[in-house]
Amino acid sequence: MSSPRRYTLKLSCPDRVGIVATVSSFVAAHNGWITEANHHADAGAGRFFLRQELLADSLPFDIDELRHRFAPIAEEFGMEWSIADSARKKRVVIMVSKQEHCLYDLLARWQSGELNIDIPCVISNHETFRGLVEWHGIPFHYVPVTPETKSASYARVMELFEAAEGDVMVLARYMQILSPQMCEKYPGQIINIHHSFLPSFVGAKPYHQAFDRGVKLIGATCHFVTSELDQGPIIEQDVIRIDHSDQPEDLVRYGKDIEKAVLARGLRFHLEDRVITHGNKTVVFR
């Protein structure tokens, strides 16, 4: 049985008295039914964050009219805001290199309906997974990346993302550093899984870095991509305990399980409009 259609309002604004009352009164005035409500006040930043889910059928107008009627309130409170429609599946473009585990996991969750998304294409800098992706009926695009062709390659990736009408780009162990132009063009639309518990061990071979440091916990981090390597706002993280007997290859093996789970959770939070970014931090309403 499918879930009823919902509109999800999320916003952030300077904190002040009356925000929740005004938003809730607006919804109630139109007989709107709030099925989930979350809010958070960041006293240090003086910022307020809110997320509400509304039953679409409880309102007497469509989403465009809802946005139009809410706009004056947003302007009054200086809100950064959006309203999403659960009836519209998000379009997720996956990027991958030669590590298969995150790609396999996302395809399995998509195929089973656990992730209610469309995957218009997969983009890779290797041909390794063409057969797998095309077997699933998904277009596969091979875009090689070399030091000499990076600019043209990422221009092609952006072209493919636009043609696919992508909402979000997921780097499922895509082992290339994106161009600053891409990061700036799609803020909050590119999600990466990094195989360490950031901010520790940024860059290449973090499990080997962790082994050399002798840590007792390793982890994975799902974060938004910015032009600063592995420094974007963090969406989700998890860790697993290791000990002195584990070798780097053991850490890599353990880490794959964490990476899959963390990426899936972080992506789900984003797809369900549960993530609000402010500066280099996020508020995640679980």
Active site residues per annotation:
230
Helix (H, G, I), strand (E, B) or coil at 9: strand
Is residue 48 a contact partner of residue 66, using CB atoms and an 8 Å limit? no
Distance CA 83, CA 9 (A): 4
Buried b (16+ CB within 10 A) or exposed e, 229-246: ebebbbbbbbbeebeeeb
Give the tokens for residue 173: 């162990």
CA nearest to 230, candidates 261, 286, 260, 190: 190
Q: How far is CA 246 from CA 216, 249, 256, 258, in A?
A: 10, 8, 15, 16
